[in-house]
Structure 1
Amino acid sequence: MIDALSNTYRELAAETMGVPAGKISILMVHRPHEEKDYADQSIYFFFLTGERFPSAVGKVGFDSAGAHYLDRERRGLQSLGDREKAIPASSVPRLLLYREVGGRHALLQSALRGERVSTWLTPGMRLNGRLRRFLAWAADWSAALGRATRTDRGESAPAWIEEFSVKLDRTGRSRALLEGAARDVWEGFGKAFPAVLAHGDFCGENILGDEERYGVIDWELCDELSVPTYDIVDLCLWVLFRTEGHVEPDPFAALERLLNGHDFLARDLRCTLGRYAAAMGFRRELLPPLVTLAWAGYCLNKFRDLERDETGHFARARVAVRKILGTPPEILSGDREAR
């Protein structure tokens, strides 16, 4: 059964790529729901004869969630394809095919080359030239994505303010803070709330490349109506998780270090936020409210499966809202050192 499906997908890839099926070999990896946490999918890597790296990547969804996230990735890749002049084509996969095959949804995209950033950004690593250049690239690339996909929404607040208040803060104490942050953003952007396409899992596991250039893969969690700074905040927290090397990442400790850390890496990460703001073209004074709203969305995504606050995560998420809003913009942007 698996061999028959693989041959079907091989022939489909060969037809799309314009090469004989006999010149393509396949490596298949199945990621069950238990491993992937939110969907049941198989991934097919298609190699041309003699090539070290795959030329195309196929994904097949085996359940409703798998199909849902494939369609989400399709929409994201289509949006990126429409803006290839603003975003380097080599930095994102190109959508090649999306259709139903054998009763399952299948997506075929071009493959990017390079090693994952997570292979060299390892626990215990300190700030060095390579990491500093990578962070500069990330700020510039994420801002380019934001500028290319930005739309202005009519409403003055993202929907997840209500979701955060209902799920993570039933006391309602954070609602006024988040609504105030949304108003500041709305007024700061000329009485319009900006929405951008966000990758949704912008971390070193999903960024390939070398010291010359990078590319971003796995767009199945992308959000077409995200808040600016979501991706870059996500990356900054991931870098802190990764370098600290904890088995269980602590987003609250990472956020505290991002806001107030005196070490070189924490300072450079704040400069990364400032670089992103400058590249996006908004004032640094908008960083605290934007990062606050990004944090609210981040927490909703990270704790979506928690029904009760048995670990104290919800309470710490609420406290962090106030901490971010209380951080002076000149510190959050890296223009001045934290006290």
Structure 2
Amino acid sequence: MRTSHYPIGTPGQPWGAEEKQQWLEQQQIKRSYFDEVVSKINRLHEQFDVEQYGVLDYPANTYPVFILRSTQWDANRPTVLVTGGVHGYETSGVHGALAFAERHVPHYRQWFNFVIVPCLSPWGYETVNRWNPYAIDPNRSFYANSPAAECALLMSYLERHEFSFIMHIDLHETTDTDNSEFRPALAAREGTVNTNWNIPDGFYTVGSSEKPTPEFQRAVIEAVRQVTHIAPPDEAGQIIGAPVEQEGVIHYAGRKLGLCMGMTDAPYVTTTEVYPDSAKTSPEECIEAQVAAVLGGLNYILQNELGQAVTN
């Protein structure tokens, strides 16, 4: 379904610096990263080594960005990476990462080390945006010499520490604003015609087509099913334009597309997608779905890689 032209730019012509500046001038601070995210990080110092891995110095504000590393680190344990807020507007990803860190890491660190990045894009969090201030999508920018500082800072930190991850779960949302704002803006920026997709009502995951793990994805879906509903395919048998591989699971080429889930060599990777605009859910339930997704992945690895019985 085509939509009307986005109010910035000329149809058929990609944006230049003038259009990007016009877009930036329309963005407004709507909530506080410091009050809502950093304050929660500051309460986790007893459970984690909290490290500032960089600063995003933007005109609106200067944003420190943080990593939580679990205490009692043991090099003999497998290490898990949890990322949230790659798209800052996707609220439950940020608060799901924090809720998992606070409530479940004390139990699971007997088997795993954890690296948790609650909010990669604090400017996006504050302005409820998918892009950074330079109209760059961080979740298409995880590659060498990235133009997105959000990505470059994190990749540099991970490279310096030479972590070997067994699992990386990247917490996201699919929202109605994908069709009303973000896809039209993307088409305008690129000088193309926007075609909206069907917004799926429910939770789904995006696995990597470059290293598919169907049983792992199924374990994540089954864990989340206990919290919220799973997205059905549309009439074409697809979710957001991609074929459904199994219930609630589609595939993207994570590394080729520069997605966050493609930046490590972890054998088990997935991107979660919660639908917060559903009449069947609530903000709290969306956060719980993100937590359940992480637990589902961990429990699968405990049983199938470590040979441990699961005791939540």
Q: Which has the larger radius of gyration?
A: 1
- TM more than 0.5: no
> Could you tell me the TM-score, scaled by structure 1's length?
0.27
> Could you tell me the TM-score, scaled by structure 2's length?
0.28
- The structure that is helix-richer by fraction is 1
Q: Greater relative contact order: 1 or 2 (C-alpha under 8 angstroms, separation 6 or more)?
A: 2
